């Protein structure tokens, strides 16, 4: 049973436009959410996170929104750049964001077209 779901395997966006990546979860005990970015032939790297006590966290061009009632989070990238082309994994954890309980989604491949 997939507790963290990314229903869009891929997304294509024009450079300069907004990219919106979505993630749904089923476990209401999750209290910390993260996005990781992965380039080919590299390991995932941390991008941005949000605690369940917030509904928005912003870091430069990246903003994560959390809707607890819908059990949904999204990552907005504005403006999108070709260098943002990568696989994006959302992840969720409980117990104060314990990394041993981190559950990953299946990933969304973002392609930003020049």
Complete DSSP assignment for 51-89? ETT-SEEEETTEEEEEETTTTEEEEEESS--GGG-EEEE
Residue 39: partners with Cβ closer than 8 Å, 6 or more residues away = 86
Binding of other proteins by 66 (CB under 8 A):
no
Backbone angles phi, psi at 84, to 5 degrees: -80, -10
Residues of this chain, 70-99, that bind other proteins according to CB under 8 A: 89, 91, 96-99
Q: Which stretch binds other proteins (CB under 8 A): 13-21, 28-36, 53-61, 69-77?
A: 28-36
- Which residue's structure tokens are 């999204």? 74
Q: Which stretch binds other proteins (CB under 8 A): 12-20, 37-45, 54-62, 67-75?
A: 37-45
Nearer to other proteins (CB atom), residue 85 or residue 97: 97
Q: Which two tokens stand for residue 80?
A: 């999108």
Nearer to other proteins (CB atom), residue 74 or residue 106: 106
Task: Give contact residues for other proteins (rule: CB under 8 A).
Answer: 4, 6, 9, 32, 34, 36, 41-46, 49, 51, 89, 91, 96-100, 102, 104-107
């Amino acid at each position: 049973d997939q507790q963290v779901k990314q229903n869009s395997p891929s997304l294509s966006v024009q450079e300069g436009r907004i990219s919106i990546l979505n993630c749904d979860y089923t476990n209401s005990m999750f209290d910390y959410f993260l996005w990781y970015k992965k380039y080919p032939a590299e390991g995932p790297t941390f991008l941005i996170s949000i605690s369940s006590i917030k509904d928005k966290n912003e870091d430069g061009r990246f903003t994560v929104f959390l809707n607890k009632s819908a059990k949904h989070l999204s990552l907005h990238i504005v403006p999108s750049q070709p260098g943002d082309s990568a696989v994006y994994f959302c992840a969720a954890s409980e117990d104060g964001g314990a990394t041993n309980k981190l559950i990953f989604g299946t990933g969304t491949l973002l392609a930003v077209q020049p």
